[in-house]
Structure 1
């Protein structure tokens, strides 16, 4: 057992990043914060189904979280490259705590409506948009380049562990108490991350300040003149657009088609998170053995299958294996594309490159959530799900030829 544990902790091993104290502390605090965010997401999605019968408005809860990443991501990336990333993350975490506290208070007082709910989830999305590039770009400082792929996978595991625990906790908390309690729990969850960031003192060079707009232009120019990065970005957009069909419409599927409760919704999201966790543990090995293209193909099919089968079900328990499959798809696609972006981006503009990737991918999700929700209203829920599945199958078949993902050393930049 000790030899097995040593191999996991050795350089290049699955758990190697945990040798670094900064990574351990930030990973743990981020896990608690992500659990709170998952609880909040369950509460917001379920609350909107109480407030309105519009599929489009329910889907817009997902859009309100991802749209700011598209709209503000490029500015956030330039901020991450021009200012102290630790301080940027601190400001974002404090802003999200305040927005979540206002949402909890308004819900407790019965003052929340569809518009207020969307505005406040949009505010939380803005905090996420500001935090994300600085957080992702800081991973290199936490672990160094030799453990970077494993660190990204472990961060994905934390995110999806939260998506496993959080929805079940959220569903149970809402059923035993109320939705305001779920929002209050999210507010408290930011405290650990704020404390860790306050104490962290990374050894990183002081960034060279540049005007924001020229900084954004330089990042975009690099991303869109690099052939390998253009392919990663295009794949992120088209996959994000398709998988939004599941992300945005699953609350409606559970409530209207499968006649489930808020707890059933949480359990489905729990199965989603478990699928993501399990595949994240073996993603580095899968990429080495099968290559990036096959792993992303596996992930794309992992989402297409649930979208195609969900309209045929009539019991909540039948949807659990499909949620597990979608979780596998989420981690296989988005983690693999993130790794491809990290290794092909210079450190000086890393925040801008990662924010461009996030803006494109989550922008695709925001547009997809709006589009599939609108189609569900205009046509039917089943038709929207079938069309989203068809979109992903088209991506699966056509895009390895239209925009093949870069080979292992194509465009790769070794960190100094």
Structure 2
């Protein structure tokens, strides 16, 4: 559509919506496949490697995309990106997956109800869901307000926003490289609380010291805190869920995460409009500190610490 000039704003929104529908199916299935690819004792490391690949892509992708757009144009860049998915499809075709007990014979609604019931009744999964919801809700202030912050407080515009996102990705990659050692030394519960506190500290610094020399190192650390929290919660869910319910359970986890991000982005935009940007960041940091303390009341206590 870009090649023929048929793309419009509404067309772009529609295609983005279709891509979102694809992600709804793809991401839980992909996440639930991780425990089938590695031994149980390596699940947390596998999730960490997945986080590294995602954040490397988020860090390097915009730069590579910018170069491609300058060299071959926008439509060719989209075409190249689409072709890269052929490698993933090829791997799935040659993967010899072991069959497991399924819900064959159940209706879609009954299967989903079974997954939701397990998540609601299992103590560790309840704690995971509470943790991801209460972490992402205040944490979404960072992602939703970052473009405005880069423009109004730093005067950087799109390039500055890209630099800050790249710093977050770099911090996540660095954090993932030391995450297993930190988890082994401090345990999952204290690591999650500490990581949340690190992210909360970053939000507070952003609200008080809008200078790039302070913010860039802080954003780097925030990336590590964000990654450590979500990777630990994700790996806990992967280990806790039985194979036959893993995709549905991860669907619940990702729905909670995406829903909290969407709701939080809406809320923090309204809050920033009423009490200004610095006020919204301050409030979100206080809520994040409270979440960090609150997380210790709902321990994970999983095999990740073994």
- Which residue in the other structure is 1:197 paired with? 92
Partner of 2:22: 127
1:231 paired residue among 127, 130, 133: 127
Match of 2:228 among 332, 352, 363: 332
- In structure 2, the CA distance between the partners of 1:264 and 1:150, relative to structure 1 (3 Å rule), is same
1-structure distance, mates of 2:75, 2:214: 30
In structure 1, the residue matched to 2:269 is: 373
Say whether residues 1:301 and 2:224 are aligned partners: no
Mapped contact 2:197–2:292 kept (Cα < 8 A): yes
1:112-154 Cα deviation digits (max 9, x unpaired): 43x5554433332222121111111111222232432221111
- 1:276 equivalent to 2:175? Answer no
Tell me, in whole angstroms, the C-alpha distance in 2 between the residues paired with 1:183 and 1:386: 39
Distance 1:332 1:190 in 2: 28
Q: What residue is the counterpart of 1:166 in the other structure?
A: 61
**Worse-matched range after superposition: 163-172 or 145-154:** 163-172
Q: Which of 137, 155, 176 is 1:241 aligned to? A: 137
Name the SS of the counterpart of 1:380 in structure 2. Answer: helix
Kindly report the root-mean-square deviation, in angstroms, between the aligned alpha carbons of the 2 structures: 2.7
Q: Say which structure, 1 or 2, has more relative contact order (CA 8 Å, 6+ apart).
A: 2
Structure 2 stretches of 5 or more lacking a match?
A: none
Show the counterpart of 2:245. Answer: 349
Equivalent-residue separation in structure 2 for 1:387 and 1:330 (angstroms):
18
Structure-2 separation of matches of 1:382 and 1:130:
37
Contact 1:171 1:262 (C-alpha < 8 Å) held by counterparts: no
Contact 1:279 1:331 in 2 (8 A): yes
1:359 aligned to 2:269?
no
Instruction: Identify if the C-alpha distance between structure 1 residues 110 and 312 changes in structure 2 by more than 3 Å, giving closer, same or farther.
Output: farther
Counterparts of residues 201-220 of structure 1 (less than 5 Å): 201-205=96-100, 207-209=102-104, 210-220=106-116
Tell me which residue corresponds to 1:258.
154
Structure 2 SS opposite 1:343:
helix
1:382 CA displacement: 2.1
Aligned length: 304
- Provide the TM-score with structure 2 as the length reference: 0.88
d(CA) in 1 for partners of 2:72 and 2:277?
30
Deviation at 1:218, TM superposition (A): 0.8
Residues 132-189 of structure 1: per-residue CA shift (max 9 Å, x gap) = 1111111122223243222111111111221221244346667888776765554343
Change in CA separation of 1:116 and 1:329 when aligned onto 2, cut-off 3 Å: farther
The corresponding residue for 1:408 is 302
User: CA 1:181 to 1:379, structure 2 compared with 1: closer, same or farther past 3 Å?
Assistant: farther
Shift of 1:399: 3.4
Is this contact kept in 1: 2:193–2:295, CA < 8 A? no
Shift of the alpha carbon at 1:388?
1.5
CA shift, 1:326, in A, is: 1.8
Q: 1:217-272 CA deviation, whole Å, 9 max, x = no partner?
A: 11111111111211111111010111111112212211232111433222211111
Q: With the length of structure 1 as denominator, give the TM-score of the two structures.
A: 0.66
User: Relative to structure 1, is the Cα distance of residues 378 and 275 closer, same or farther in structure 2, using a 3 angstrom cutoff?
Assistant: same
Gapped runs of 5+ residues in structure 1?
A: 1-101
Structure 1: distance between partners of 2:227 and 2:217: 16
1:222 aligns with 2:123: no
